[in-house]
Amino acid sequence: MQPQPTILLALADKEDLSLVDDFLIRTFDCAPLRAHDALALHACLQRRVDILLIDLAFLAPENSLELIGNLRRSYPEMVILPAIPAGRRDLLKKAIDLDIFYFLNKPFELAEISLMLKRATGNLLPEPIAPTEQDEEPRHSFHGIIGRSDSMRRLFDLITKVADDDSSTILIRGESGTGKELVAKAIHTQSRRKSKNFVPVNCAAIPDDLLESELFGYTKGAFTGAAANKPGRIQYADGGTLFLDEIGDMKSSLQAKLLRVIQEREFEPVGAFKAIPVDTRILAATHCDLEQMVREGRFREDLYYRLSVIPITIAPLKDRREDIPLLIEAFIDTFTEKRGRERFSLSPLALSALMNYEWKGNVRELENLIQHMSVLYSGRRLDLPDLPEKFHELAAVTDQQTAIDASRQGLERTDSTTRPPVVDLQDGPIDFNALIDQFETQMILQAMRMTAGNKKEAARLLNLKRTTLLEKIKKKELRQLWDD
C-alpha cells in the first residue's frame, strides 16, 4: 500500500479552507496541513510536503506569485497547485511562466480538485473512497442526457434495463428536438455492442431513391453508375447498432425489406441474388403517431409491431420544466468556458421567462437560444429585456418592476413566504436570531426550488459564494427539502 502524501493547504478564505479540507478527508482519507498566513506556511514546510495547494489571494496576487517562484526553486520535488480566480488570464499566464502547468479555478469545484490532484501527482493519491449515499451529489446527466425530473429519471432507468437485452428492437417516440438520437446512443453505449459501430440514418433526410442503396448497399453493375460493390449502412452496423431516425418517412417498399432484416437477420444488397447474414440491433425513432399511420394504411402494421417490442417515450421540455435550469447551465458551459468565452448568467426574471415558455422546438430550441446569447452577451448578467421579444410577456411575476429590482439584488420576491417576517415589538421580546434564521432558510429553499436544485445558480441568485451556500445547507440540514 502506497504511503499517504502530505498535502498543505494555503488558502486565504476560511470557508474554502474548510470545504477543501473536509473534501480531502472524506474522499481520499487524507488529513492535510493547514496554513493561514505566510509564517504558518514556512513552519509547515519544515517537514516534507508533497503537494501545496495555494490560493493566489493567500498574499497579494503578485506577492503570491513571487512566493510560488521561490518555493519552486527551494522545493523542486513539491507539486504546487495555485488556485486562480476565474477570468484572470493575466495571472494564469504568469503562473505558466513559472513552469506551473497544473492549476485550479476559483470558485472551487470539488470534482476539478480531485482531477487536478490526480494529474499533477501522477496518481500519488490513493483511490477515492466510494461516497456514501448522504455525501453523493444527485446525478443529473446520463450519457450526455440532462435531467432531474421524474420522467427523466425513469428514462435513465429504462435505458439501463433495455441496454442489457441487446437484440430486442426499440421504438423511441418524442417530439422533434427532445433528444431521440442521444437516447439511442446511450442505449448503444450501455450495451455489450458498445465496441462496435453505432450507425445513424435519418430516413427523412435521404431521398427515397437513394435510401435503399444507402441502407442495403449495392453490387457492381446493379444500376448505371454502380462501378464497384458498395456496402450499405446495415452491413456497416454488423455487430453494432443501426439507428433509423424518422422511420415514419420510409416508403412502403423499403419497409418490407427492413421487416425481413428484423425477422431473418439477413439482407440483400441492391442487385444481389444471395442474402448476407447480419447481426445488428435496430433502434428506430419517430415524432409521428405511427399507430394512426397504420390505421390510415401509410405504415406497415407488421413492421410497427416488430419495431415497438420495447417502446420508449421522451417527454417534451414543456412537461419537465424543472430540467430547464440544468440544461441552461450545461449549455452555458458548452458555449462559453469550453470555447474560451466568459460565462453569462440570467436574472431570476429572465430565468422565469424561459421556464414559462412552451419550447415547441424542445431542447434543441433552448440550446440554440443559449448559443445565440453566448455570442452576444458573453460575460454579462442578462435581464428580461436582453431576451428575444417573444419571452417578454412570459415572466411569472405579478409586479414586473419589483421583480427586476429584486433580481438586481440577487433575490426574487414573488411570494409571501420569502418576505421578511413581520413582528410587533409591543407584544414583547422576540428571538431575533431565530427570526433571521427562519427567513434565511426560506430564501435558500426558494432559490433551490427556482434552480431545480442547481447549487451554483442558486448561489448566484442569493449573491453568495457556492461554498457558503453548501455550508448553510449542511448546517441547516436542508438537503433535498426543496423537492417537498
Q: What is the pLDDT of residue 428?
A: 65
> pLDDT (tens digit, 9 = 90+) per residue, 235-272?
999 999 999 999 999 998 899 999 999 999 999 998 88
Q: Is 287 helix (H, G, I), strand (E, B) or coil?
A: coil
Buried-state track 201-237, b at ≥16 Cβ within 10 A, e below 16:
bebeebeeeebbbbbbbbbeebeeeeeeebebbbbbb
- Are 290 and 152 part of one and the same domain? yes
In a domain, 179, yes or no: yes
CB 172, CB 183: distance < 8 Å: yes
- Interatomic CA distance for residues 177 and 360, integer angstroms: 9
- Are 235 and 308 part of one and the same domain? yes
- Are 268 and 226 part of one and the same domain? yes
> pLDDT (tens digit, 9 = 90+) per residue, 282-318?
999 999 999 999 999 999 999 999 999 999 999 999 9
Q: What is the pLDDT of residue 158?
A: 93
- Are 384 and 434 part of one and the same domain? yes
- Are 76 and 184 part of one and the same domain? no
Q: Considering its fold, how many domains does the chain have in total?
A: 3
* Domain extent for 100: 7-121
- Are 253 and 271 part of one and the same domain? yes
- Are 350 and 295 part of one and the same domain? no
DSSP-based helix, strand, coil % in the chain, nearest 5? 50, 15, 40
* Domain boundary residue, one of 296, 315, 334: 315
What is the domain-level CATH number for residue 228?
3.40.50.300
> pLDDT (tens digit, 9 = 90+) per residue, 131-171?
444 333 345 778 889 988 889 989 999 999 999 888 889 99
Q: What is the pLDDT of residue 93?
A: 73
In a domain, 1, yes or no: no
In a domain, 133, yes or no: no
What is the domain-level CATH number for residue 374?
1.10.8.60
Q: Which has more confidence, 484 or 62? A: 62
> pLDDT (tens digit, 9 = 90+) per residue, 381-420?
888 888 988 887 765 443 344 343 444 443 433 343 444 5
> pLDDT (tens digit, 9 = 90+) per residue, 190-225?
999 999 999 999 998 888 888 988 899 888 888 887
> pLDDT (tens digit, 9 = 90+) per residue, 49-99?
888 888 887 777 667 788 888 888 888 778 888 888 876 777 777 776 676
Q: Which has more confidence, 49 or 280? A: 280
- Are 284 and 396 part of one and the same domain? no
In a domain, 126, yes or no: no
In a domain, 373, yes or no: yes
Q: What is the pLDDT of residue 382?
A: 85
* Domain boundary residue, one of 89, 121, 153: 121
In a domain, 132, yes or no: no
Q: What is the pLDDT of residue 325?
A: 85
Q: What is the pLDDT of residue 84?
A: 83
CB 199, CB 241: distance < 8 Å: yes
Here the cell at position 22 is: 473536509
In a domain, 2, yes or no: no
* Domain boundary residue, one of 275, 295, 315: 315
Q: What is the pLDDT of residue 284?
A: 96
- Are 151 and 207 part of one and the same domain? yes
pLDDT of residue 187 exceeding 90, the answer is yes
> pLDDT (tens digit, 9 = 90+) per residue, 21-59?
888 877 767 778 888 777 778 888 888 888 888 888 777
- Are 63 and 91 part of one and the same domain? yes
Which is it for the CA torsion 475, 477, 479, 483, positive or negative? negative
Q: What is the pLDDT of residue 134?
A: 39
What is the domain-level CATH number for residue 64?
3.40.50.2300
pLDDT of residue 350 exceeding 80, the answer is yes
- Interatomic CA distance for residues 162 and 169, integer angstroms: 10
- Are 325 and 463 part of one and the same domain? yes
Residue 426: which pLDDT band, with cuts at 50, 70 and 90?
A: low
- Are 341 and 300 part of one and the same domain? no
- pLDDT > 90 fraction of the chain, expressed in percent and rounded: 29
In a domain, 139, yes or no: no
